[in-house]
Structure 1
Amino acid sequence: MTETTGLRARKKLRTRQTIERVALDLFEKDGFEATTIDNIAGAADIAPRTFFHYFPSKEDVVLADYTVRLDLIVEALRTSPADTAPWTALREAFLTVGADYETQRPNLLRRFRIIESAPSVAAKNLQLQASWEAAVADAVADLLALDAKHDIRPRLIAGAALAAMRASLHRWLTDDGDSRLPDHIELCFELLAAGLGRIGGPS
């Protein structure tokens, strides 16, 4: 990477971070629906068309970190030892994500509150969760050497793991982030493990 390329990349990252920051501030202050792209662009000191170079929509600003965390989970599954049960690998992956969430507690809490209060963001969130489930199911299928299209187990495991994460996040949000998210994740996975923990594990 040349120095010029590096400077350009850093500038783009700073612009993206500025858009996220001012957009979230405006969503909290004025409400998601009332905030326009023009409002965000003005606060970020960019042209409205520049906004779309970074985000397809307002909803995508709120949900901007989804892809990064999905990649963490899928990578953890793909690099798990061959003798690790998928449920165990998923638990460890989600615990890692949960610990990462806690390091960004204030930022994530306000993102989650916007998701809960804005129907269009909640709808986009559900779409992304469906894509998460499909991606995690494919990774589980690879780990088990199964066909995700014809075997129900990968999708079942993925759906249950994501349900555990949603329940954990709901509890964490109810506590305003004052409790430990990894503790909730551990408990949810333990509660489900009796039925799913044996799939792909030692016989």
Structure 2
Amino acid sequence: MTDSAGTPSKPATKPPGLRERMRAAVRAEVTEVALRLFAEQGFDRTTVDQIAAEAGLSRASLFRYFGTKEDIVLGDLEETGRRIAEALATRPDDERPWEALRRAFDVLVRAGHEAAPEQTLTYLRMLYETPSLRARHFEKRLTWQMLLVPEIARRVGADPDGPEDPRPGALVAAALACLDVAVTGWVACEGRIPVADLLDRAMDALTQ
């Protein structure tokens, strides 16, 4: 298919069907219920049965939407990683890879730390205070590395699967480490310093 200028046009994105929309709505409702209970009682003291009952689901039904209790909290991490990867892919080709990574992280900064700072602070405090959540968070965050490396490899002219060139992996790993340090600092200062400023300082420190 081509447009009026004769150039190929992108196919229209198919909107999610009714089943997908209903599934997303249930997941969002369960997550909201769970986060409220976690804030009131603590993560470890809140049971899956309590969450299911509050959300009007059976335990078996809840596990059809979430694999583990940790996934109720961390279920959006993979989608966030995809959005960051999409943002990275749209950055100008002549932009330095390090700057492109920084700007791609704005997706995360705007979505939580700026749009809903108090809710994000509560969520992150719970994450840092719960070992099982931190471990699952680390596991899920590894997918971000895999999502971001191919685009950085393209920008530096490297083979994303070539172990002989560590540059793409090193750049992405360092950028994610800066993001972690900035977010940790933001929580420690109770959000008084914008996370964007902390992230700029962290990433700028590695370019001096």
Aligned mate of 1:68, from 79, 84, 87:
79
Q: What is the CA–CA distance in structure 1 between the aligned matches of 2:107 and 2:141, rounded to whole Å?
A: 18
State the one-letter code of the partner of 2:180: R
Q: What is the CA–CA distance in structure 1 between the aligned matches of 2:91 and 2:156, rounded to whole Å?
A: 11
**Residue number in structure 1 paired with 2:186:** 172
Count of residue pairs the alignment pairs up? 191
Q: Please say if residues 168 and 181 of structure 1, whose CA atoms lie closer than 8 Å, have aligned partners that are also in contact.
A: yes
**Residue number in structure 2 paired with 1:29:** 40
Q: What is the CA–CA distance in structure 1 between the aligned matches of 2:66 and 2:157, rounded to whole Å?
A: 36
For the aligned residues, what is the CA RMSD?
1.9
Moved over 6 A (4+): none
Superposition TM-score, scaled by structure 2 size = 0.84
Note the C-alpha offset of 1:63.
Answer: 1.1
**Residue number in structure 2 paired with 1:106:** 118
**Residue number in structure 1 paired with 2:130:** 118
Q: Please say if residues 87 and 193 of structure 1, whose CA atoms lie closer than 8 Å, have aligned partners that are also in contact.
A: no
Aligned mate of 1:154, from 152, 168, 171:
168
Q: What is the CA–CA distance in structure 1 between the aligned matches of 2:91 and 2:25, rounded to whole Å?
A: 34
Superposition TM-score, scaled by structure 1 size = 0.86
Gaps of 5+ in 1: 195-203
Q: Please say if residues 77 and 143 of structure 1, whose CA atoms lie closer than 8 Å, have aligned partners that are also in contact.
A: no
* Higher helix content, 1 or 2: 1
Q: Please say if residues 109 and 195 of structure 2, whose CA atoms lie closer than 8 Å, have aligned partners that are also in contact.
A: yes
State which drifts further: 91-100 or 41-50.
Answer: 91-100
Query: Percent same amino acid at aligned positions?
Result: 31
Q: What is the CA–CA distance in structure 2 between the aligned matches of 1:96 and 1:10, rounded to whole Å?
A: 23
Is 1:145 matched with 2:147?
no
Q: What is the CA–CA distance in structure 1 between the aligned matches of 2:150 and 2:111, rounded to whole Å?
A: 24
Q: Secondary structure at the match of 1:62?
A: helix
